[in-house]
Amino acid sequence: MATIDVVCIGNAIVDILTRTDDDFVTQNGIIKGAMNLIDAERAELLYERMPPAIEMSGGSAGNTAAGVASFGGRAAFIGKVAADHLGRVFAHDIRAQGVSFDSHPLENDAPTARSMIMVTPDSERSMNTYLGACVELGPEDIETSKITEAKLVYFEGYLWDPPRAKEAIRLAAKLAHDHKREVAMTLSDPFCVDRYRDEFLELMRTGTVDIVFANEDEIKSLYQTDDLESALEQGISDCKLLIVTRSEKGAVVLSKSERVSVPAIEIEELTDTTGAGDLFAAGFLYGYTNGRTLKDSAHLGALAAGIVIQQIGPRPQVSLKIAAQTAGLI
Amino acid sequence: MATIDVVCIGNAIVDILTRTDDDFVTQNGIIKGAMNLIDAERAELLYERMPPAIEMSGGSAGNTAAGVASFGGRAAFIGKVAADHLGRVFAHDIRAQGVSFDSHPLENDAPTARSMIMVTPDSERSMNTYLGACVELGPEDIETSKITEAKLVYFEGYLWDPPRAKEAIRLAAKLAHDHKREVAMTLSDPFCVDRYRDEFLELMRTGTVDIVFANEDEIKSLYQTDDLESALEQGISDCKLLIVTRSEKGAVVLSKSERVSVPAIEIEELTDTTGAGDLFAAGFLYGYTNGRTLKDSAHLGALAAGIVIQQIGPRPQVSLKIAAQTAGLI
């Protein structure tokens, strides 16, 4: 009997968000719209240069866990913070959202990870992530009971960046499958796909991963094609369920036997795209693990994504449960 | 020759902002709409209980300094942070806004102050402030050159809460007056006025303070009257310039010879009143120290206040200079 809907595994990150113009992004050599990995020294330099900022808990899979909980789902998170101020902030925020989080913080080593996020006038976010304590995530951090008690394990492709997290994921996936649970991943970022294409394809083709979330750029990058249809076809031949988000064009969900599309929700004002993909995954997974159809699950994903891009920051500041009830989706 | 328009002195605080319902405020014994002083233990307890939050630099006079700089004014800030993470955040944010900030951080003692702010559905903010390192602010922190090079010294009444800050203020006021500069204060909060009524009146009546900012509740509290007109009359008899903000009713400015009123600006949606008074002071002081009339200065104050209450948090996330230019005010 599952007591958790979704257990999310990812880099535990606090976001440092600010607005800049495009020149700031260009002049500082930041790849726009991407997750740029940086070291401690560059983190200091960029922080010194960046405008006043807002700190809020983030991290891709952490945002998804928070989203599932905001829908009223039962979510858990596994990720590595340090025993420092930002680590306490991360732990407070995710627990206060109702997510179960018991990972041991790292003592006397690298600090909690932070991502400096520049939001440009077009509302696109460019991330600059110093992984800090996240590089210590390993198989010893996988809480067996959380994996076996969850209907589904979800992890971020970004976990291929730190050295030992992939071992943690392989262990979690094996545990999950041994207990007849499903495993889902997000491809995270087109550049991340570029770094780990062969490994991601291997995860899919060996059945280590059952369900794949991607946006258009990521799925095209995975199959190194400019043709979305071709990427979708190849994608669903390599996994059991493929969910591809397409920004204002909505999303498409493919199973071996079915293909459904949903539109994006109408929004009043695009504010900040940070967390859009994470929250789509949250809505979809909340629906999927609670017996909804693929189409209804995708509508929940579109709702959550549409809400988070109308606010600053990657975690919903309103109750997604109430929003979904108001929209007649649950 | 002044090289600074306004030097602001205040408690250096990082805000921890969240939305709660009214029940949370009531059940936790928080005085709604007020600044509630708390100790370290209660700070831990409230943090544990509060929902996910956003961290951003705050502090009343710090917000005003940031606002003056956002208008393009030359601002400095004096206040006590600790040599810790939140202290670095505070220093980064205020400097990145263009404010000169050189106060020495406190080493190996109390941590940087934080205020847990609950924003209720009516957009009212209730603050819970742990003063931490702020209690160490004293006369030794007054940088003589900053005071003598500034056209005006501005401080917050909240500084009467920590034990030695009042000595710092008396020193700064003397230095300023010796150099023919003006001294302004905000009454900060009706409960703060209640705690220090006699001392605030003494500051005004001895000419230690020339200019007083207050909202309706504060000026009424100062003179223990429910009659605004009576409070205004008594107020301007005790100082040279009195600025009283009246929320959606705008503001009134009284000098010994003049009385002007300005309306509040029209807003689309009230989001969070945190920082409204601080930003009114910023706009007014930017205008006043740059040779604008009382009326024009008050319009700048109303603009800044109107902008900050339409966002989350107490410091403007847009350029007030551009906003004022767009509104045809500068």
Model confidence pLDDT, tens digit, residues B104-161: 999 989 999 999 999 999 999 999 999 999 999 999 999 999 999 999 999 999 999 9
**Rounded percentage of chain B residues whose pLDDT exceeds 70:** 100
- In this structure, is residue B293 part of a structural domain? yes
- In the predicted model, is pLDDT for residue B90 greater than 80? yes
Rounded CA gap, A37 and A11, in Å?
A: 12
Note down pLDDT in tens along chain A; length 330 residues: 799 999 999 999 999 999 999 999 999 999 999 999 999 999 999 999 999 999 999 999 999 999 999 999 999 999 999 999 999 999 999 999 999 999 999 998 999 999 999 999 999 999 999 999 999 999 999 999 999 999 999 999 999 999 999 999 999 999 999 999 999 999 999 999 999 999 999 999 999 999 999 999 999 999 999 999 999 999 999 999 999 999 999 999 999 999 999 999 999 999 999 999 999 999 999 999 999 999 999 999 999 999 999 999 999 999 999 999 999 999
- In this structure, is residue B16 part of a structural domain? no
Q: Name the nearest CA neighbour of A183 among A220, A157, A221.
A: A157
Cross-chain residue pair B52–A84, CB shorter than 8 Å: no
Rounded CA gap, B9 and B127, in Å?
A: 19
Find residue A214's DSSP bridge partners. Answer: A244
Q: Name B287's Cβ contacts closer than 8 Å, sequence gap at least 6.
A: B293, B296, B297, B298, B299, B300, B301
Q: In A, which residues are within 8 Å of B57 by CB distance? A: 52
Question: Nearest chain A Cα to B86, which residue?
Answer: A85
What distance in Å separates residue B24's CA from the closest CA in chain A?
A: 14
Model confidence pLDDT, tens digit, residues B206-260: 999 999 999 999 999 999 999 999 999 999 999 999 999 999 999 999 999 999 9
Secondary structure (3-state) at B76: strand
Model confidence pLDDT, tens digit, residues B71-84: 999 999 999 999 99
What DSSP letter does each residue of B199-214 carry, written as one string? HHHHHHHTTS-SEEEE
Q: Name the nearest CA neighbour of B134 among B82, B60, B95, B84.
A: B82
Question: Nearest chain B Cα to A49, which residue?
Answer: B96
What is the tally of structural domains in chain B? 1
Q: In A, which residues are within 8 Å of B62 by CB distance? A: none
Residue A1 confidence (pLDDT): 77
Cross-chain residue pair A315–B52, CB shorter than 8 Å: yes
- In this structure, is residue B124 part of a structural domain? no
Instruction: Please count the other Cβ atoms lying within 10 Å of the Cβ belonging to residue B272.
Output: 21
Question: Nearest chain B Cα to A85, which residue?
Answer: B85
Amino acid at B329: L
Secondary structure (3-state) at B153: strand
Question: Nearest chain A Cα to B317, which residue?
Answer: A19
Residue B315 confidence (pLDDT): 97
Distances (CA, A) of B174 to B86, B180, B181, B182, B243: 32, 10, 10, 10, 22
Cross-chain residue pair B54–A53, CB shorter than 8 Å: no
Helix ranges (H only) for A18-117 are 22-27, 40-49, 60-70, 85-96
For residues B281 and B301, the answer to whether their CB atoms sit within 8 Å is yes
Residue A109 confidence (pLDDT): 92
- In this structure, is residue B269 part of a structural domain? yes
- In B79-98, the residues whose Cβ lies within 8 Å of chain A are 84-86, 89, 92-94, 96-97
Model confidence pLDDT, tens digit, residues B55-68: 999 999 999 999 99
Secondary structure (3-state) at B154: strand
Sign of CA dihedral B269, B272, B276, B282: negative
Q: In B, which residues are within 8 Å of A82 by CB distance? A: none
Residue B214 tokens read as 């207050």
Residue B95 confidence (pLDDT): 98
How do strand A75-78 and strand A100-101 relate by DSSP bridges? parallel
- In this structure, is residue B72 part of a structural domain? yes
Give the structural domain span for B248.
4-10+65-110+135-326
For residues B119 and B17, the answer to whether their CB atoms sit within 8 Å is yes
What distance in Å separates residue B32's CA from the closest CA in chain A?
A: 21
CB pairs under 8 A between A and B: 57
CATH number of the domain within which B315 lies = 3.40.1190.20
Find residue B129's DSSP bridge partners. Answer: B37, B115
- In B162-181, the residues whose Cβ lies within 8 Å of chain A are none
- In the predicted model, is pLDDT for residue B1 greater than 80? no
- In this structure, is residue B57 part of a structural domain? no
- The tally of CA atoms less than 13 A away on the side-chain side of residue A222 is 30
Q: In B, which residues are within 8 Å of A48 by CB distance? A: 92
Q: Name A134's Cβ contacts closer than 8 Å, sequence gap at least 6.
A: A11, A12, A13, A79, A80, A113, A162, A165
Cross-chain residue pair A57–B57, CB shorter than 8 Å: no
Cross-chain residue pair B92–A53, CB shorter than 8 Å: yes
Cross-chain residue pair B55–A94, CB shorter than 8 Å: no
The single residue listed with the structure tokens 């302004």 is B184
Residue B146 tokens read as 């900053």
Amino acid at A2: A
Helix ranges (H only) for B54-127 are 60-70, 85-96
Find residue A186's DSSP bridge partners. Answer: A156, A213
Residue A139 tokens read as 């198989």
